[in-house]
Amino acid sequence: MHNIQLAATQIVQQVLVDGRNLNQVLDESLRRKSVWAPAQRAALQDLSYGTLRFYGQLNAILDLLLHKHMTDNRISYLLLVALYQLQYSRAAQHAVVDHAVRSADILNPKIRGLVNAILRNFLRNQADLLAQAALKPEGRYSHPQWWIDELRAQYGEDVAGGILDAGNGHPPMTLRVNHRRGTTADYLAQLSEQGIAARLIAPDALQLDRAVSVDKLPGFFEGLVSVQDAGAQYAARLLDVHNGMRVLDACAAPGGKAAHILELADVELVALDKDEKRLLRVAENLQRLGLSGTLLTGDAANPAGWWDGKPFERILADVPCSATGVVRRHPDIKWLRRKKDIASFAAQQSEILQSLWALLAQGGLLLYATCSIFKQENQDVIDGFLAKTPEARQVSLPDGQLLPTDQHDGFFYALLQKTA
């Protein structure tokens, strides 16, 4: 176990100190640990994700346990990983402490005794320490203070608390059934035959009671189904595509929404992304599903570099954003984002929206989408655009701002029509 603790310690440190992406660092670590068994690899992922998910609480507890600043940061991150195990995992407590001491012996032998004392102190006073940590918002909600303040100001304290708690949960695993290959009822029956419990939560969406690897999903590699959050599945249906339309999916990678559009109608789809490597994922997804479209590398904010001059009847503007609605899937986002980033994203989003609007046909629809829960990136961007674009009309939607729930992540949608 101590090898897994050490690897998780290094991953958490690279995220929090170096500002690196969790998935990227974890993938690099797993490639180096190619001889590890699946259970070890899963444990490393759990420790890395879990420590970052509850970093605010764990760090508040560690501050209470330490009588002075820890000079060796590696030991601090090791203690955070061990505290996560003691608080949230099923591992035997004595084993967690023992392996943490062994890990400390490798990192800094002079501090192994201190590591042992700190962790045993936590076990003796666990309830009291948890209560004390919860007195501070960061310790209670495991989100940065600026984030908590922003949500409280926007939604009120009660709703904000629910959003923050949801952000610390485990995300559901939801499937999107490819209606070109079968119905949701048909696929639900196939899942049942394999002993996989699921339920219908949207026209194309089946939520699993327990997550499984994709190789366990019937017909996954044959294109019967995809993994996609139910909230993300709103996009294609809100766009209201019909056969024969010319449709643009801007910022298309990794391709889930583009594929869903093609599953719903026979359209001339152009999938655009500025990252050529990420665009390869779109191609792979479409190929698996038996779908086809035109893939272009280009900047949505600069259509002159790629647009052929032919207007689109539908445009999906799935713009870059803070991703604050999907933090339970990417807990590093909570600690890598800064308050100033929100204004920067909003400026970028406004630029993309303005650029794509010129490509929309008269009477056409543009769906603006983010996976953010901050108004500054969402309705504020739309309001600013409408104020200077008289031919734009916002179409009323029953669910514009989706907040994270047990069925979907947080998303924002605004549907705009180009009028005379």
Mean pLDDT along residues 36-50:
94
Q: What is the pLDDT of residues 271-283, one digit of tens each?
A: 999 999 999 999 9
Residues 240 and 215 in one domain: no
Angle between helices 73-88 and 112-124 (to 10 degrees): 30
Mean pLDDT along residues 313-318:
98
Q: Is residue 148 part of a domain?
A: no
Residues 254 and 401 in one domain: yes
Residues 186 and 238 in one domain: no
Residue 47 has a pLDDT of 97
Please state the domain count of the chain. Answer: 3
Of 33 and 349, which is predicted with more confidence? 349
Mean pLDDT along residues 87-112:
94
- Identify the H or E element spanning 38: helix 38-53
% of the chain beyond a pLDDT of 90? 96
**Spatial CA neighbour of 118 closest among 96, 138, 92:** 96
Mean pLDDT along residues 231-245:
97
Q: Which of 360, 371, 373, 403 is catalytic?
A: 371
Q: Is the pLDDT of residue 209 over 90?
A: yes
pTM (2 d.p.): 0.94
Place of tokens 């070109």: 180
Query: Among 107, 136, 165, where does a domain finish?
Result: 136
For 207, the domain range is 173-228
CB 182 within 8 A of CB 220: no
| Residue 371 annotated among the catalytic residues of the structure | yes
We report the CATH number of the domain holding residue 185 as 3.30.70.1170
β partners of residue 175: 206, 227
The beta strands (E) that lie in 102-254 are given as 174-177, 198-202, 205-208, 225-227, 246-250
Q: What is the pLDDT of residues 111-158, one digit of tens each?
A: 999 999 999 999 999 999 999 999 999 999 999 999 999 999 999 999
Query: Among 113, 136, 159, where does a domain finish?
Result: 136
